[in-house]
Every structure is written in structure tokens, then in C-alpha cells.
Structure 1
Amino acid sequence: MMRTSIKLLGLALVLSSATAMAANNVTYNSSSMSSAMSSVMKGTATKNADNTDLNARDKSGATLTPQNQSNAEPDIEVLAAVRSAIVEDDDLSTAAHNVKIMVEEGVVTLRGPVKNANEKNRVEELARNVAGVVSIDNRLDIDTN
């Protein structure tokens, strides 16, 4: 029952899109509409997430990721304090608020995209000012999109 409802909703969305395109005098061949309808019905995404390419390097296992995060209490406390410092800075973008943070024996590794060099430096500065941080490994990427 639920699957049928979802398919009908998808079909209605495709049909309303086709109607809107026709109203705007936009022409598409039947194979492109069929492909678009198939994509909607299957629920497949047509565009990669913003940082998909940046995360590709994590697949090899050679790069430190949040799954490698130490469970030692001092490291967890430092991680929480660094995250709080970053999130509390309202001048940072959402991307900067969501950087990956890993802490092992007080060494903080920062990973992920930020908007510009100023944000990259600001995130590092905020992390450096947290008690218990021994050093920073700043691997933040500047998003060029």
C-alpha cells in the first residue's frame, strides 16, 4: 500500500513537471522524459553531495576518519570542547560548523570543506585555544564551488 502511494506521488510529480515544461514551451524527446521518470520512480539522486569528491580519499583506509576517534576520556572531552568552540562561532559557515574533528592523545585533526582561508584559519585558532590540545593537524579544504 505504502509503496503504491509513493509511486503514485512520484508519477504525479513527474507529470506536473512535464506539464510545467510544456507550459513553458520547452521540448524534450521521449527518451529524456522516460529517463527522468525512471530516475524519480527509483529515488536515485542525480547530483553528488557537495563534498563527495573530498571524501573519496577516506575510502582507502590510510586517512584518519571519525571512525578512528579515540575513546579515551581526555580525547573525548577535548573533541567536545573543540566542537563547542567551533559551533558557537556564529561568524563561521555551516560547512565550517560541520568539519570533521578527530582527537588522539591531544592531537586534533581537522578535516572537511570550509568556505575560504579565513575560515580555515579561524577553525584552527578556535581548536588551538581549547585546553588539552597538544597540536593541530589542519587538513581543512577550501571549497572552490
Structure 2
Amino acid sequence: MFILKQRLVPAFAPASVLLLLLSSVPAATAQTQGTPDNAGTNKSQNQSATADQQKNNVSDRELAAKIRRSVVSDKSLSMYSHNVKIVVAGGSATLKGPVHSEAEKQAIGQKAADIVGADKVSNELTIKQ
């Protein structure tokens, strides 16, 4: 409780006014702002390899980090490509997520193959329509 000009005012009053003001502001979504929203694509993909299956051993973490650095450092790739899922388990890499073209899919697959070996890459990237 606050004392305001010799009257007791509930402590929640300022918060309720703020809540009323915020509720009248329309919520902005990722789609209306023009940023990629991969949520639907990610949910629909086969859940065979997910980030929670990434092992916490040093060698798998280092391999995943090397692949990620290689992908992100290539500025010719789209933002979708920079955000693909890279899961490394037992020295094998699984690549998942949407990319803009077959060329991006192949480029990311090759970057992973250069690091872990071509026979240890499962390229499950999809081309966004």
C-alpha cells in the first residue's frame, strides 16, 4: 500500500494501469516483421536427431562448434542456412532445418563432411519453398 495525499492506494494500481495500456497494443509477430519463422518447419520435421541428443563430451561439442563456425563464416549463405541444426553424436553429424536452395544444402553438407568425413554426415536439410 502507498500513502498518496493522505489516501491509501493499493500497491497494484500502477501495475494494473500498465497492464491495461499494454493489452491495447497489438502484438508483433515474426512473420509481420519479415524475419524467418521456422517454428512450423521445425515441428514437422522427423525428430530423429535433436539438439537434446547432442552428447556432452568434448569431442562431439568441438566438432559441432567447428561445423557451426564454418557455416556461419560463409557470408554467401542465407540466414536460414546459418541457423540450421547441427547435432553431433559419436563423431557423426546430422544436419536439419530449412535452407533456400539445393546449392546451400550441398555447401553445408560439404562443410560438415570436410570436418567429420563424408560417411559421417546425415544431410536432412530441406529446401524452403
TM-score, normalised via structure 2 length: 0.73
TM-score, normalised via structure 1 length: 0.66
Q: Quick check: which one's strand share is greater?
A: 2
Structure 1 residues 142 and 9 mapped into 2: Cα distance closer, same or farther (>3 Å)?
same
Distance 1:93 1:44 in 2: 23
1:90 aligns with 2:90: no
- Give the counterpart letter for 1:56 in structure 2: K
Q: Quick check: which one's helix share is greater?
A: 1
The correspondence of residues 1-145 of structure 1 with structure 2, limited to 5 A, is 1-2=14-15, 4-11=17-24, 13=25, 40=26, 43=27, 50-57=37-44, 62-130=47-115, 132-133=116-117, 135-144=120-129
Distance 1:46 1:122 in 2: 27
Unaligned runs of 5+ in 1: 14-39
- CA shift digits 1:75-131 (9 cap, x unpaired): 11100100000000010001100100000111100000101101000111111111x
**Secondary structure at 1:70 match in 2:** coil
**Secondary structure at 1:109 match in 2:** strand
Q: Percent identity?
A: 31
Structure 1 residues 9 and 143 mapped into 2: Cα distance closer, same or farther (>3 Å)?
same
- The count of aligned residue pairs is 112
Unaligned runs of 5+ in 2: 1-13
Distance 1:111 1:76 in 2: 17
Structure 1 residues 75 and 91 mapped into 2: Cα distance closer, same or farther (>3 Å)?
same
Structure 1 residues 84 and 2 mapped into 2: Cα distance closer, same or farther (>3 Å)?
farther
- Checking the alignment, whether the CA contact within 8 Å between 2:99 and 2:126 is kept in structure 1 is yes
Structure 1 residues 50 and 135 mapped into 2: Cα distance closer, same or farther (>3 Å)?
same
Structure 1 residues 102 and 8 mapped into 2: Cα distance closer, same or farther (>3 Å)?
same
**Secondary structure at 2:67 match in 1:** helix
- Give the counterpart letter for 2:40 in structure 1: D
Correspondence for 1:22: none
